[in-house]
Amino acid sequence: MHETQVKSILSSSNGMNIYRGCSHGCIYCDARSKCYNMQHDFEDIEVKANAVELLERALRSKRSRCMIGTGAMSDPYMHVEEKLGHTRRCLELIHHYGFGLAIQTKSDRILRDLDLLKKINENTKCVVQMTLTTYDEELCKLIEPNVCTTARRAEVLNILREEGIPTVVWMTPILPFINDTADNIRGLLNYCIQAKVYGY
């Protein structure tokens, strides 16, 4: 892990990544691509030390409210978040300034911030996007070794449903000859149906 200072945190489409790199260890991750100009090992998490300060400045200056997105390139609930809490502080700002939230993860650590997700959803809108890759738990442990398994993520989806927070599932990636079986697809779809997700 190392810290860096960045010049901005929100993209033109109101997306942000608080960290760069990832500790989940997913073997298929395309964010490792050199096209993203990572200057360090992918597992050497880059912490944007001034992300919270920059986000507050950006939200305070916006003329109209919108959805703030996070998690598209770097999961906001990696192991380092337990220690640093940058994601939680950013959610507090999003709630404070009255913005909506679209957050993507494959970690059950998101439940730590359930109180904030509920507050944001009550005031504006909060959508949680969860990645489900394989119904096979043993396969999940092989291809996504350092994050909770699919069954646990399905539990998270059900908890969010019970709390009234809308969810979306990313059934990706479908890897030829690995997780592209009919049983796997049906299993993931059953999880989606049980959780009453809004899209997959």
Other residues' Cβ atoms within 10 Å of the Cβ of residue 26: 19
What does the pLDDT read at residue 35? Answer: 63
**Confidence (pTM):** 0.93
Nearest to 91 by CA among 83, 101, 81: 101
| Contacts (Cβ under 8 Å, ≥6 apart) of 122 | none
> Is the bond leading into 173 cis (omega within 30 degrees of zero)?
yes
Alpha-carbon gap, residue 111 to 116, rounded angstroms: 10
Q: Give 132's Cβ-side CA count (13 Å radius).
A: 30
Query: Of all helices (H) and strands (E), which one includes residue 129?
Result: strand 126-131
What does the pLDDT read at residue 56? Answer: 98
Per-residue pLDDT of the chain (200 residues; tens, 9 = 90+): 899 999 999 999 999 999 999 999 999 988 776 666 777 788 889 999 999 999 999 999 999 999 999 998 899 999 999 999 999 999 999 999 999 999 999 999 999 999 999 999 999 999 999 999 999 999 999 999 999 999 999 999 999 999 999 999 999 999 999 999 999 999 999 999 999 999 98
What does the pLDDT read at residue 200? Answer: 82
Alpha-carbon gap, residue 191 to 135, rounded angstroms: 9
Inter-axis angle of helices 150-162 and 182-195, nearest 10: 20
Q: Which residues pair with 90 in a beta bridge?
A: none
Domains of the chain: 2-195 (3.20.20.70)
